[in-house]
Structure 1
Amino acid sequence: MKNTTTPSASPRGPAEHDVRDQIVAAATEHFSRYGYDKTTVSDLAKAIGFSKAYIYKFFESKQAIGEMICANCLHEIESEVRKAVADTDLPPEKLRRMFKVITDASLRLFFLDRKLYDIAASAATENWQAVQVYEERVQKLLQDVLQEGRQNGDFERKTPLDETARAIYLVMRPYLNPLLLQYSRDTTDVAPAQLASLVLRSLSP
């Protein structure tokens, strides 16, 4: 997980304060070593060298720190997906790339470091704000791709757009949700491409 701060929960302290980035960077390293669930704010304060009270000036809880780390991770996945989609003008190919890149990036970022996976799992289980924002943005991107495909004549237009987007998102969801992805890892080599092909056949005009 990278440390480019992308706000999700409302942060405390000055908006551009470097200390917040220092706390997030140190917390990311600490969680990767000891795990998110097993770490308290007191443990984190001791490891970073700040007082617990000082950390609370910038984050109201351990979850708020976890939200920031989670938001960074999800922002990285979203950036990869958007870049892949933007690199082609063909809506069917955009959809194929969404399936593939979401899966590949999620696997890499959620499971490269098993201890940081704890944060992603907590975020998905408790439906943190960072997760809600990410899922909404992925669904909006998917809807934009579908709309473009309809305008180009690549996709059918009879089914309501929001219904179509929601259904396809539900097909994608096992490959972008860390809790579900852990049970689908043995199919990630072929399933995303097969599902994309199936979805595209259903979208034929």
Structure 2
Amino acid sequence: MARRLPPRAPSLEAPARGIPTATNVDHIAYTVPDLDEAVRFFVDVLGADLLYREGTIRSDDDEWMREALNVHPRATADIAMLRLGPVTNIELFEYTAPDQNRTMPKNSDHGGHHLAFYVRDIDEAAAYLRKQPGVQLLGDPRSVTTGPIAGDRWLYFLTPWGMQMELISLPAHLPYERDTPRRRFGPCAAWSQFSDGEGPA
């Protein structure tokens, strides 16, 4: 008997807005000062899977690096791609460049950023990170008591090279849900339930 295929997502056929034919966010990329150190941290501490590494990207006699990547023409880049949890791909770059700014941006700087992890038990997660060499927790878990995400508990932490990350734990329902049918994505099942690079069905 022929297998019945699921219907195509409406967004693939006639998107109301956004990029035509787009289906999902493919990856998030960060530039790190030491690719080997960052890969080890993402794998050993955060639980990522290393998918592949690329050799050095460079172009010594033209403007390709500037034209394609918006960096100095003589910049070089080494790249690693990781799978982080059931649905997220993380691309890490280690650049060299004559005009490189080597200061990590603060959250208040243009281009400031952080990567947040949903956890079911933020106190247990914080205790784990507190034991990891070089990790700096910015205090203890904090609680949001008012507004659209009242009930949220969160905590920022820094990687050994100063990248900003966050733990977050949310109740089953949030106040903003009373005003819109739209929902934040997640949470997924525990990462340990997925193996061999498989995501949720």
For the aligned pair, the TM-score class normalised by the smaller chain equals under 0.3
Q: Which has the higher contact order (CA 8 A, sep 6+)?
A: 1
Q: Which of the pair is proportionally richer in helix?
A: 1
**Please, what TM-score do these two structures have when normalized by structure 1?**
0.20
Q: Which of the pair is proportionally richer in strand?
A: 2
